Amino acid sequence: MRYVLILFLLFATPVFSVQPDEVLTDPVLESRARDISQGLRCLVCRNESIDDSNAGLARDLRLLVRERIMQGDSDTEVVAFVVSRYGEYVLLRPEFNGSNLMLWAAGPLMLGIGGLIGFAFVRRRRTVPADSLTAEESARLTEILRSDVTSG
Protein backbone atom coordinates (compact mmCIF):
# COMPACT_ATOMS: atom_id res chain seq x y z
CA MET A 1 0.00 0.00 0.00
CA ARG A 2 2.85 2.33 0.84
CA TYR A 3 4.45 1.78 -2.57
CA VAL A 4 1.24 2.62 -4.36
CA LEU A 5 1.07 5.88 -2.44
CA ILE A 6 4.68 6.70 -3.29
CA LEU A 7 4.06 5.97 -6.98
CA PHE A 8 0.94 8.12 -6.91
CA LEU A 9 2.86 11.02 -5.36
CA LEU A 10 5.58 10.68 -7.98
CA PHE A 11 3.04 10.92 -10.78
CA ALA A 12 1.13 13.74 -9.06
CA THR A 13 4.09 16.11 -9.17
CA PRO A 14 4.20 18.62 -12.01
CA VAL A 15 5.98 17.22 -15.02
CA PHE A 16 7.76 19.58 -17.35
CA SER A 17 8.31 18.72 -20.97
CA VAL A 18 11.72 20.33 -21.20
CA GLN A 19 14.08 17.76 -22.66
CA PRO A 20 17.54 17.26 -21.19
CA ASP A 21 19.19 18.44 -24.41
CA GLU A 22 17.35 21.79 -24.12
CA VAL A 23 18.58 22.64 -20.61
CA LEU A 24 21.20 25.37 -20.42
CA THR A 25 24.37 24.65 -18.46
CA ASP A 26 24.18 27.93 -16.53
CA PRO A 27 21.52 27.50 -13.81
CA VAL A 28 20.75 31.26 -13.71
CA LEU A 29 20.09 31.37 -17.46
CA GLU A 30 18.05 28.18 -17.26
CA SER A 31 15.96 29.67 -14.47
CA ARG A 32 15.31 32.75 -16.64
CA ALA A 33 14.34 30.53 -19.56
CA ARG A 34 11.91 28.57 -17.38
CA ASP A 35 10.34 31.77 -16.05
CA ILE A 36 9.84 33.11 -19.56
CA SER A 37 8.53 29.85 -20.99
CA GLN A 38 5.98 29.52 -18.15
CA GLY A 39 4.36 32.73 -19.46
CA LEU A 40 4.23 31.67 -23.11
CA ARG A 41 1.28 29.71 -24.51
CA CYS A 42 1.74 26.61 -26.61
CA LEU A 43 0.07 27.39 -29.92
CA VAL A 44 -0.87 23.73 -30.39
CA CYS A 45 -2.14 22.89 -26.89
CA ARG A 46 -3.85 26.26 -26.36
CA ASN A 47 -4.09 26.73 -22.61
CA GLU A 48 -0.77 25.16 -21.69
CA SER A 49 2.59 26.84 -21.35
CA ILE A 50 5.39 25.84 -23.69
CA ASP A 51 7.24 24.57 -20.63
CA ASP A 52 4.48 22.01 -19.98
CA SER A 53 3.76 21.00 -23.57
CA ASN A 54 5.14 18.05 -25.52
CA ALA A 55 4.25 19.56 -28.92
CA GLY A 56 7.01 20.08 -31.46
CA LEU A 57 6.20 23.77 -31.81
CA ALA A 58 6.51 24.19 -28.03
CA ARG A 59 9.97 22.61 -28.20
CA ASP A 60 10.93 25.01 -30.99
CA LEU A 61 9.73 27.95 -28.89
CA ARG A 62 11.66 26.71 -25.84
CA LEU A 63 14.81 26.46 -27.95
CA LEU A 64 14.15 29.93 -29.39
CA VAL A 65 13.80 31.41 -25.88
CA ARG A 66 17.06 29.80 -24.79
CA GLU A 67 18.82 30.93 -27.97
CA ARG A 68 17.74 34.54 -27.41
CA ILE A 69 18.86 34.38 -23.76
CA MET A 70 22.27 33.04 -24.86
CA GLN A 71 22.54 35.99 -27.27
CA GLY A 72 22.19 38.35 -24.31
CA ASP A 73 18.57 39.48 -24.67
CA SER A 74 16.72 40.57 -21.54
CA ASP A 75 13.52 38.81 -20.49
CA THR A 76 11.35 41.56 -21.97
CA GLU A 77 13.30 41.48 -25.22
CA VAL A 78 12.85 37.71 -25.50
CA VAL A 79 9.11 37.98 -24.90
CA ALA A 80 8.83 40.92 -27.33
CA PHE A 81 10.66 38.90 -29.99
CA VAL A 82 8.34 35.90 -29.57
CA VAL A 83 5.26 38.17 -29.60
CA SER A 84 6.49 39.92 -32.76
CA ARG A 85 6.74 36.55 -34.51
CA TYR A 86 3.60 34.82 -33.18
CA GLY A 87 1.32 37.62 -32.03
CA GLU A 88 0.01 38.53 -28.61
CA TYR A 89 -1.95 35.28 -28.46
CA VAL A 90 1.28 33.52 -27.45
CA LEU A 91 1.12 35.22 -24.03
CA LEU A 92 -0.71 33.25 -21.34
CA ARG A 93 -1.47 36.56 -19.60
CA PRO A 94 -2.05 39.15 -22.34
CA GLU A 95 -1.28 42.76 -21.58
CA PHE A 96 -4.08 45.23 -20.92
CA ASN A 97 -3.71 47.86 -23.63
CA GLY A 98 -5.73 49.72 -26.25
CA SER A 99 -5.59 47.05 -28.95
CA ASN A 100 -7.27 44.40 -26.82
CA LEU A 101 -9.37 46.67 -24.60
CA MET A 102 -12.57 45.49 -26.30
CA LEU A 103 -11.70 41.86 -25.54
CA TRP A 104 -11.13 42.67 -21.87
CA ALA A 105 -14.35 44.69 -21.64
CA ALA A 106 -16.58 42.36 -23.68
CA GLY A 107 -17.20 39.82 -20.92
CA PRO A 108 -18.32 42.23 -18.19
CA LEU A 109 -20.19 44.33 -20.76
CA MET A 110 -22.16 41.34 -22.07
CA LEU A 111 -22.88 40.20 -18.51
CA GLY A 112 -24.24 43.64 -17.66
CA ILE A 113 -26.39 43.81 -20.79
CA GLY A 114 -27.74 40.31 -20.15
CA GLY A 115 -28.53 41.24 -16.56
CA LEU A 116 -30.42 44.35 -17.67
CA ILE A 117 -32.39 42.40 -20.25
CA GLY A 118 -33.22 39.72 -17.68
CA PHE A 119 -34.24 42.32 -15.09
CA ALA A 120 -36.49 44.10 -17.61
CA PHE A 121 -38.04 40.81 -18.70
CA VAL A 122 -38.82 39.70 -15.14
CA ARG A 123 -40.14 43.13 -14.19
CA ARG A 124 -42.40 43.28 -17.23
CA ARG A 125 -43.82 39.81 -16.54
CA ARG A 126 -44.72 40.72 -12.95
CA THR A 127 -46.97 43.61 -13.84
CA VAL A 128 -50.42 42.48 -14.93
CA PRO A 129 -52.67 45.23 -16.23
CA ALA A 130 -55.74 45.67 -14.03
CA ASP A 131 -58.09 45.92 -16.99
CA SER A 132 -56.98 42.60 -18.46
CA LEU A 133 -59.64 40.65 -16.49
CA THR A 134 -63.18 40.47 -17.74
CA ALA A 135 -66.04 41.19 -15.33
CA GLU A 136 -66.72 37.47 -15.06
CA GLU A 137 -63.04 36.67 -14.27
CA SER A 138 -62.89 39.49 -11.74
CA ALA A 139 -65.99 38.19 -9.94
CA ARG A 140 -64.56 34.66 -9.88
CA LEU A 141 -61.23 35.96 -8.49
CA THR A 142 -63.02 37.88 -5.75
CA GLU A 143 -65.00 34.73 -4.87
CA ILE A 144 -61.79 32.65 -4.66
CA LEU A 145 -60.03 35.21 -2.49
CA ARG A 146 -63.02 35.43 -0.10
CA SER A 147 -63.22 31.64 0.22
CA ASP A 148 -59.48 31.50 1.05
CA VAL A 149 -59.86 34.15 3.73
CA THR A 150 -62.86 32.44 5.36
CA SER A 151 -61.41 28.92 5.17
CA GLY A 152 -57.95 29.82 6.33
Contact (Cβ atoms closer than 8 angstroms) between residue 82 and residue 61: yes
pLDDT along the chain (152 residues), means of 10: 61 54 77 88 84 85 90 90 88 76 84 93 72 82 80 60
Pinpoint the residues of the chain covered by CATH 1.10.8.640. 13-90
Q: How high is the pLDDT of residue 131?
A: 66
Q: Which CATH superfamily is domain 13-90 in?
A: Cytochrome C biogenesis protein (1.10.8.640)
Q: How high is the pLDDT of residue 13?
A: 44
Q: How high is the pLDDT of residue 20?
A: 63
Q: How high is the pLDDT of residue 128?
A: 60
> Measured between alpha carbons, how far is 59 from 22 in angstroms, rounded to an integer?
8
Residue 86's alpha-carbon distances to 10, 91, 137, in angstroms, are 35, 9, 69
